[in-house]
Amino acid sequence: VPKHLRYSTATRDAINEHIKSIGMDIHKFTYSIEDQSKAQALSIELGLYTPQKYENTRNVQSKLAIQHTKTLAVTTAPKFERHTRIFQCQAGIDNGVGPNASKNRQIPWRNVGCSFWVRYSTVHVAVTGECIGIDQISGVFDHCDACLDLVEMDRDPLIPLNIDVCNHALDLLRQKTPLALLRDQCLKYSEKRCPGLPGNHQSRFHLVGGDISSLYRTIAQELGIDQKSAAEENLDLWFRAKDPSPPVPGMGESVLHYQPHVEGQTDRFELIICSEQMRDALWKFGHKKQVLMDLTFGFCSAPLLLTILMVIDDNGKGIPVAFIVFTARKSAKAAHADYNTALLTRHLQMFKEKIGKSPSGEDLTFLVANTDNDTRERKALATTFPDILLLLCSFHTAQSWKNGINRSLAGVPKGEERQAVRKRLGSFVWRLLHEVIDHDEALDLYRQEREYWEGQSKHRSMAKRKQAEGALKFLKYFHSYLGTKAMWLSWSMAGVIKAAEYLGIPVQKITRTNNPLENFNGLVKNHYFEQYKHSGRLPRVDYWVQCMIASVIPAFFDKRIRKQQMTDYRHALRHIQPGSSHAAEETAELD
């Protein structure tokens, strides 16, 4: 048994015993047409394949994997090479054996102790890699019964990127194409050749996350080393009520509200973006459900603020359903903070009115909402949706407490003395945030903690008194989070339980943080617009709006569709026909 095969000791011993008692299958072939026909037929029967530089040849449903390849020049004909490949059935691979041993099994097929392996010798043209003949096929050709009965993988198979798509992506990288544009061009390339298909049995046609690093590594190896009108004029031309002329047909259908900044008439520019896809998602995943709300700035070159509303789908993923853009007033001293409850309430009420009614004739309503600590956002939501349950983002809440502890302990010497207080207070607030579901119990724990530190404040040790002083300072600050039951409910597990009851879903389905929205903020500010930046400068607001409506929003929803297609595709590839040792042929190709 070749040493390169990854068998457990017991399986290897059993195979050696089998070879001693029964022998191996050994087939040698001449270069006659008859012999080579037999060799081809046997290789097809066994499910063998020959890797090609310019073509994906391995069926990803195949149970066979190449464990070792040895290449030698043919001494009698230097223009040719002999490749000897060792194939092993993945249903017999012990992942804890070999140079790539690992505790966690990443191989898609379960190890059932299959003893199938093959030594496959072929001759190729050295320059082109073209196979001109098969010399020998030998090994143990029988799959065990358990392997033949195995028709579903334990996990999705590893699927290589189609070579043509890969080469196209490499050409784009060589042209210094920005990554986001590269992904779009590669998608168009594959959709043109094989529309609607994420892949076939040999390769996938769409890029996924890890491909970019691989492409960059390839490029590194090759190198030897690891506008005339003002923005506001354009926007008015696109979205004005009379004779609008947008650069992309249908842009106006994605805008619920447009208000230009007219000196002496309006003090702000306002725009509410909500495409048809966003509206569909809003009614499906947001109406009478949970919404996340946050404000951000610094996404374009103008002093604009952006309110994003996001709903959560059945898989816990965030979907933006509204972008409310507005400028700071010229008189504002701090542009990023130039808003109030009345303004946000007007925006939300306008959004609610403009969105219309649901297919069943109901007005839009949210039952649960997540915000950060901004009271202006919370009051606006409560005014617009009176029955809403407001939750505080647990991440922002915990971060506020952490900062509060650090501020309060500034007078405690650094080192063990400060760390001891931080650890105790950290455990105290963690328990309140994640475990306590009764307000009286929370108040009791707070009282106990305060009494403990009040006792420490009378200690003879100056260090103990300093610790107590800092801790009591924090507890005084923290009391505002416990003072009313409504406030406590907004950040405690009790609020999460109540939200689950409101929505009629399991507690674990409630989103406690605004992280999905924060992540999307990062994408809006960086990823989606990276290729449009000039020397790091942010895009103009007209360009930002045009890109959001015509590119970013459609791309976001297209990505959701492709991701679901890929999930369905991977799941479908887990199954092969019962009793088959290798995968069936498949015809979908990229031309």
Q: What is the pLDDT of residues 544-565, one digit of tens each?
A: 898 889 888 998 999 999 999 9
Q: Is the pLDDT of residue 384 over 90?
A: yes
Q: Is the pLDDT of residue 323 over 80?
A: yes
Collapse the DSSP code of 135 into the 3-class scheme (helix H, G, I; strand E, B; otherwise coil) and give the result. Answer: strand
Residues in CB range of 78: below 8 A, 6 or more apart:
126
Q: Encoding tokens for residue 508?
A: 């674990």
Mean pLDDT on 23-47: 94
How far apart are alpha carbons 123 and 36 in whole angstroms? 12
pLDDT > 90: percent of the chain: 64
Distance set, CA 558 to CA 315, 317, 551, 564 (Å)? 17, 15, 10, 10
Q: What is the pLDDT of residues 278-305, one digit of tens each?
A: 999 999 999 999 999 999 888 888 888 9
pLDDT value, residue 533: 56
Q: Sorting pLDDT into bands at 50, 70 and 90, what band is 157?
A: very high
SS (H, E, C) 378-433: HHHHHHHCCCCEEEECHHHHHHHHHHHHHHHHHHCCCCHHHHHHHHHHHHHHHHHH
Distance in angstroms between the alpha carbons of the first and the last residue of the chain:
41
How far apart are alpha carbons 310 and 298 in whole angstroms? 19
How far apart are alpha carbons 116 and 112 in whole angstroms? 11
Q: Is the pLDDT of residue 383 over 60?
A: yes
Q: Which own/partner contact pairs does 566-569 have at CB distance under 8 Å and 24+ positions apart?
A: 566/198, 566/199, 566/204, 566/206, 566/208, 569/198, 569/199, 569/204
Could you tell me the pTM of the whole model?
Answer: 0.69
Largest CA distance in the chain: 101
Contact 482, 438 (CB under 8 A): no
Q: Is the pLDDT of residue 587 over 90?
A: no
pLDDT value, residue 583: 63
Q: What is the pLDDT of residues 395-415, one digit of tens each?
A: 999 999 999 999 999 999 999
How far apart are alpha carbons 59 and 55 in whole angstroms? 12
Q: Sorting pLDDT into bands at 50, 70 and 90, what band is 227?
A: low
Q: Encoding tokens for residue 113?
A: 């102790």
Q: What is the pLDDT of residues 250-267, one digit of tens each?
A: 889 999 999 998 888 888
How far apart are alpha carbons 118 and 87 in whole angstroms? 5
- Residue in this structure with the two tokens 């990062």, named with its chain if needed: 522
Q: How many residues does the chain have?
A: 591
pLDDT value, residue 427: 95
Q: Is the pLDDT of residue 535 over 70?
A: no
Residue 87 DSSP symbol? E
pLDDT > 70: percent of the chain: 95
How far apart are alpha carbons 501 and 298 in whole angstroms? 38
Give me the amino acid identity at 105.
R
Q: Sorting pLDDT into bands at 50, 70 and 90, what band is 232?
A: confident
Q: Sorting pLDDT into bands at 50, 70 and 90, what band is 225?
A: very low
Mean pLDDT on 158-162: 93
Mean pLDDT on 226-236: 75
Average pLDDT, whole number, for the chain? 89
Strand residue runs (E) in 90-166? 117-125, 131-140
Q: Sorting pLDDT into bands at 50, 70 and 90, what band is 177?
A: confident
pLDDT value, residue 591: 59
Q: What is the pLDDT of residues 147-156, one digit of tens each?
A: 999 999 999 9
Q: Is the pLDDT of residue 220 over 90?
A: no
Distance set, CA 344 to CA 308, 347, 350, 356, 473 (Å)? 12, 5, 10, 19, 34
How far apart are alpha carbons 115 and 12 in whole angstroms? 8
